[in-house]
Amino acid sequence: MSGILYGVGVGPGDPELMTLKAVRLIRENDIIAVPGAEAKETVAYKIAVQAVPELAEKTLLPVYMPMTHDREEMKRNHQKGAELLESYLSRGLNVVFLTLGDPCVYSTYTYLQKLVMDDGFRTELVSGITSFCAAAARLNLPLSEWNEQLHILPAAHHSDAELKDGGNYVLMKSGRKMSQVKELLKNSGRDVYMVENCGMENEHVYHGTEEIPDNAGYYSLIIAKETRKNS
Amino acid sequence: MSGILYGVGVGPGDPELMTLKAVRLIRENDIIAVPGAEAKETVAYKIAVQAVPELAEKTLLPVYMPMTHDREEMKRNHQKGAELLESYLSRGLNVVFLTLGDPCVYSTYTYLQKLVMDDGFRTELVSGITSFCAAAARLNLPLSEWNEQLHILPAAHHSDAELKDGGNYVLMKSGRKMSQVKELLKNSGRDVYMVENCGMENEHVYHGTEEIPDNAGYYSLIIAKETRKNS
């Protein structure tokens, strides 16, 4: 019988935000895949090994899928990754693929999973704490209350047309276009917070667009909240 | 010195989706508050006690805040709850308040926290797995990929004006207006899934509006995904 591919979220950075299920699956299985060129250099590995030290002794599969705008190259990388995972699954071995945050929210892992499922293998997802939940907890703020809508926008967005609807906004990975994003936020009439490297060593918290630097890091997450009339 | 109030998410139902930090805080503290009239009958307690059996022997504080549209009554209940928590905090005892899912996402707890903070006490939030992440994992589906936006709508919404923007939608607690919501979903041109009681004993999964019953339960969560042109 073939093995199962588990896509397991390790949360945003703090190893204590890993779930009991993530810890158990890493402990119970020997083949652990991580996204990156050097397994022990990946963020997912560095988080998980703090909670499960025996991870260091397991068989680690680095699955390298660099960011690219070349669709064909991206597909080739996904295909190569899927083949690597399947070479273990077909021998009856489970593979636990560790992803940052939650595997269902903007994770490259879901592309791999689709290919592996199409080839007839069993897959399972295990939720992790999302970066936006962790950032809100770090700020000691609700993300959404009562009848507020919550909109999550990936980095590719953030154009002038946005932030016009009612509700609170989460802007993911805005780093590269920060000056443009700050302009957009200023005009939105919202209360703006940013958390850089949430739960990691070099974490930094900002309140108000004036405080946010133009050269913010890749793992920067912005929360823009409606100012509530009554509370 | 006063105690600290911890708002701790226990996740959506499966006790294995609790974080290591939630488990540690419950173990290390003696006063555990839960939302409901009878502590041991609350969903949050029932989830947590499976992961931390010694919870049954702790001092349990039921904080009853029933759903009401009477704003004054609601405020009185929040005030009473905050006073109960503060009676322990002011004696130097920490209180761990357990909430279903994540404390930052549509949790009644944040009202209590605000009152307790206004009275000068220290508070901290600990993220939990959200119901929408768990439902997507249960369906083995990504919630959002690549440049897709993700919109989370609370029960109070779901009017005709919605589901018109691009992106994927999560509709929380649609149970009471289900026939109306199904109509809206049919017209949205989206691929629709529903998970009832995710991770609990009486869990049920539906695909397509035809499958969804008009009398779905309170803990029903709908995911409406854009149909992708290429993948």
Instruction: Give the β-pairing of B59-63 and B31-35.
Output: parallel
Instruction: Please say if the pLDDT value at position A69 is more than 90.
Output: no
Rounded CA Rg of chain A: 19
Instruction: Please say if the pLDDT value at position A55 is more than 90.
Output: yes
Number of residues written out for chain A = 231
Average pLDDT of every residue of chain B? 92
pLDDT of residue B166: 83
Lowest-pLDDT range of A18-22, A30-34, A225-229, B42-46: A225-229
Check: CB of residue A130 under 8 Å from CB of residue B130: yes
Taking residues A4-20, report their average pLDDT. Answer: 97
pLDDT digit string, tens, across residues B200-224: 888 999 999 999 998 887 778 999 9
**Is A14 in the B-facing interface, judged by CB distances under 8 Å?**
yes
Q: If pLDDT is split at 50, 70 and 90, which confidence band does B130 have?
A: very high
pLDDT of residue B231: 43
Closest alpha carbon within chain B to A110: B142
- Count other Cβ atoms within 10 Å, centred on residue A16: 18
pLDDT digit string, tens, across residues A197-209: 888 888 999 999 9
Q: If pLDDT is split at 50, 70 and 90, which confidence band does B230 have?
A: very low
Q: If pLDDT is split at 50, 70 and 90, which confidence band does B3 have?
A: very high
C-alpha B74/C-alpha B87 separation (Å) is 20
B34–chain A nearest CA distance, Å: 18
**Is A149 in the B-facing interface, judged by CB distances under 8 Å?**
yes
B166–chain A nearest CA distance, Å: 11
Q: If pLDDT is split at 50, 70 and 90, which confidence band does B169 have?
A: very high
**Is B128 in the A-facing interface, judged by CB distances under 8 Å?**
yes
**Is A20 in the B-facing interface, judged by CB distances under 8 Å?**
yes
C-alpha B104/C-alpha B40 separation (Å) is 23
Those residues with Cβ within 8 angstroms of residue A145's Cβ, 6 or more apart along the chain or in another chain:
B106, B110, B111
